[in-house]
Chains A and B, each alone.
Chain A
């Protein structure tokens, strides 16, 4: 079945450095890839997403890249700030428009001041 692998599980960076989180998916028919940020005790917040017809998308300090051939996509956060500390989840859509997302296991990002 469809599967999403996310790495690393934890990431610690110094404030101002960049952070990169990578995900791979198994079904080449997946066509939508969102990223969520979850702060402790709260619901996940959609921060950026990308569709399969686009290779890269940016929104201020965050960007997502997609490599359809290799079936992987990455989240890039530049100029990290302490408030970026959270758990980040990637997800991929099930094929066939089933209305379902499959989530990765999450990456805990710590930005040290």
Chain B
């Protein structure tokens, strides 16, 4: 069963703690992306990776970090430096390094109190 998995679906953390969100794909896609979605808003790009061992900052990278050590995995760490971390986080992947036809995972809803 091919696709993108994100875990967990819901995540709760205390302010000041770092937290890592998981994203795995078995589609053999080169490119992977992390987006943040706030209520009633569109998707904003946090980080993206077009190939293993390489990644680029998106539009709102401050307070976040990523790694891309394996083709199928692109974990996102939300650090304590992120001022408003509570949001819905979406991971996507694409077979195209140009970002065409991005397919999304089910998302992780992070709540920080």
Contacts and interface: CB of A to CB of B under 8 A. Distances in A.
Interface of A: 6, 32, 34, 36, 41-46, 49, 89, 93-94, 97-101, 103-106
Interface residues of B, number: 29
B43 A32 contact: no
Contact of B48 (A49, A93, A100): A100
Contact of A100 (B45, B105, B106): B45
Interface of B: 4, 6, 31, 40-45, 48, 50, 56, 58, 90, 92, 94, 96-107, 109
Nearest to B49: A99
A43 B104 contact: yes
Contacts of A104: 42
A105 B104 contact: no
B106 A43 contact: yes
B104 A44 contact: yes
